[in-house]
């Protein structure tokens, strides 16, 4: 018991020190000219980390991650208001919900259409499915050779736990207003009619995804469809398939953005998705707790609440 207390205390101390350092440093710095979070910049950095969703992903400590679609849209609009010359979107996300991913994509497309702001997407470890959906809105996509991307597709999943409940003697009674009100119930098997309804929903969302990528990337649908069956690509493979434009890291992507936007000298960057101290603490505690027992089950429960997903 005493050892457990020591470990917990050490974890809390590490999180406090790391959060304080991150907050005082203004978040990740990729510019050669360091500026304050409120300073004037000509490049807006947007970090899309984690599952893209309209849900505010919080921890018990109050942290909010940088993959909430409303927060990202707010950051994009603020960047437009500040009249930056470019937006660098750094993505490390396995995907997210269909609506949230499309919302961020649409806001970036609106920015490109209504302003002279250039947008470059930099792909990190993973930028798959909904993460790639967001990236496809950029003027230029740059991936690391080993980045995992693609996974163009839509999925709905549910679990049938009725056999387990039968074994332990638990019965579920459902009172519903219509035949399909409990269409994704985990307490019974899905009927053939329900499967057909769900399949039409998936395919309609998939067609929207496909059309957006085809238009943004200027890839004819007949060429895109063979690549859009849910398969994943490395960054190098994606470049060969014309899903990304070039290979390089975030620094290379920043230089590419500076070239496209006509920025002379070193670009100055402001992180429009940086967190305050309280949020940094919450995020660090959340990250530390992800490996604890029960965290994976909690994630599955969360995904059950978000049935229509663009994820790897």
Annotation says 106 is catalytic? no
Annotation says 129 is catalytic? yes
H or E segment and range at residue 113: helix 98-114
Contact of 30 with 252, CB cutoff 8 Å? no
Mapping DSSP onto H, E and C, the string for 41-85 reads: CCEEEEEEECCEECCCCECCCCCECCCEHHHHHHHHHHHHHCCCC
> Which of these is catalytic: 181, 211, 225, 295?
181
Q: What is the spatial distance between Cα 146 and Cα 25, in angstroms, rounded to a whole number?
A: 29
> Which of these is catalytic: 59, 66, 67, 129?
129
Contact of 91 with 121, CB cutoff 8 Å? yes
Q: What token pair was written down for 106?
A: 């649409």
Query: Which stretches does DSSP call E strand in the chain?
Result: 43-49, 86-93, 95-97, 118-128, 140-143, 148-150, 155-156, 232-234, 246-247, 269-271, 308-311
The catalytic residue positions are 129, 181
């Amino acid at each position: 018991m005493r050892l457990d207390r020591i470990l917990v205390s050490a974890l809390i101390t590490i999180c406090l020190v790391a959060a304080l350092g991150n907050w005082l440093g203004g978040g990740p710095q990729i510019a050669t000219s360091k500026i304050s979070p409120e300073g004037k910049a000509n490049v807006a950095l947007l970090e899309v980390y984690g599952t893209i969703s309209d849900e505010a992903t919080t921890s018990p400590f109050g942290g909010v991650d940088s993959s909430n679609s409303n927060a990202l849209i707010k950051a994009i609009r603020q960047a437009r208001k500040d009249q930056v010359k470019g937006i660098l979107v750094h993505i490390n996300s396995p995907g997210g919900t269909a609506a949230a991913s499309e919302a961020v994509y649409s806001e970036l497309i609106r920015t490109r259409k209504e302003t002279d702001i250039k947008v470059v997407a930099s792909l990190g470890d993973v930028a798959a499915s909904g993460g790639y959906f967001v990236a496809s809105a950029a003027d230029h996509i740059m991936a690391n050779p080993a980045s995992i991307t693609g996974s163009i597709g839509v999925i709905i999943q549910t679990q049938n736990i009725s056999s387990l409940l039968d074994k332990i003697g638990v019965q579920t009674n459902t009172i519903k207003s219509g035949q399909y009100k409990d269409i994704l119930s985990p307490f019974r098997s899905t009927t053939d009619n329900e499967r057909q309804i769900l399949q039409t929903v998936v395919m309609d969302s998939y067609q929207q995804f496909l059309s957006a990528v085809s238009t943004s990337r200027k890839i004819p649908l007949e060429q895109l469809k063979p690549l859009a069956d849910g398969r994943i690509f490395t960054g190098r493979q994606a470049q060969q398939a014309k899903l990304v434009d070039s290979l390089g890291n975030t620094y290379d992507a920043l230089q590419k953005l500076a070239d496209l936007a006509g920025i002379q000298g070193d670009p100055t960057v402001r992180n429009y998705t940086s967190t305050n101290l309280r949020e940094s603490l919450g995020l660090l505690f959340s990250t530390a707790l992800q490996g604890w027992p029960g965290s994976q089950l909690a994630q599955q429960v969360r995904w059950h609440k978000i049935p229509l997903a663009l994820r790897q």
